[in-house]
Amino acid sequence: MSKFRVWGIALAALLVIAPGSGFAQQALQDSMIGTKLTHCDFKPGGCACSLKLETATDQVEIDVPLGTPIRQGSGYDYSPTVRGKAVSVVLAADKPGKTARSIDVKAAKP
């Protein structure tokens, strides 16, 4: 079998497997310094907003669509109440730009 045929088969297999394999999701862990609320029903996942995180090098703005869970421990929180807290934001790989899939509020250090 020629090298080109082997590479062609390997490439075809990769293209068939890759879409369903779920590439690693990107997560940001920083301090939330601001929110711009666009809608809030004050129920879990009921707030839509954009939030601003302060990283070591700059500030990052992230879109938070309606239905995005904001968890704190075993309960849920609302975007207006997590300003100034450390958060971990999992970004949606299937959406353009920086869009949150979920947000976890980190426990404050004693």
29: domain CATH number is 2.40.50.140
- The residue segments making up the domain with residue 69 are 25-105
Decide if 59 is inside a domain.
yes
Domain count, the chain: 1
Residue written as tokens 């997560």?
Answer: 27
Distance CA 77, CA 84 (A): 14
42 is written with which tokens?
């004050």
**Better-predicted residue by pLDDT, 7 or 91:** 91
Distance CA 63, CA 90 (A): 12
Decide if 32 is inside a domain.
yes
Task: For 3-42, write each residue's pLDDT tens digit.
Answer: 444 444 444 443 344 444 444 568 888 888 888 889 988 7
User: pTM of the entire structure?
Assistant: 0.70
**Better-predicted residue by pLDDT, 85 or 15:** 85
- State the DSSP code for 81: G
Residue written as tokens 């939330």?
Answer: 32
Task: For 41-84, write each residue's pLDDT tens digit.
Answer: 878 888 899 999 988 888 889 999 999 999 988 888 888 788 88
Q: Beta 100-105 vs 70-72: how paired, if at all? A: parallel
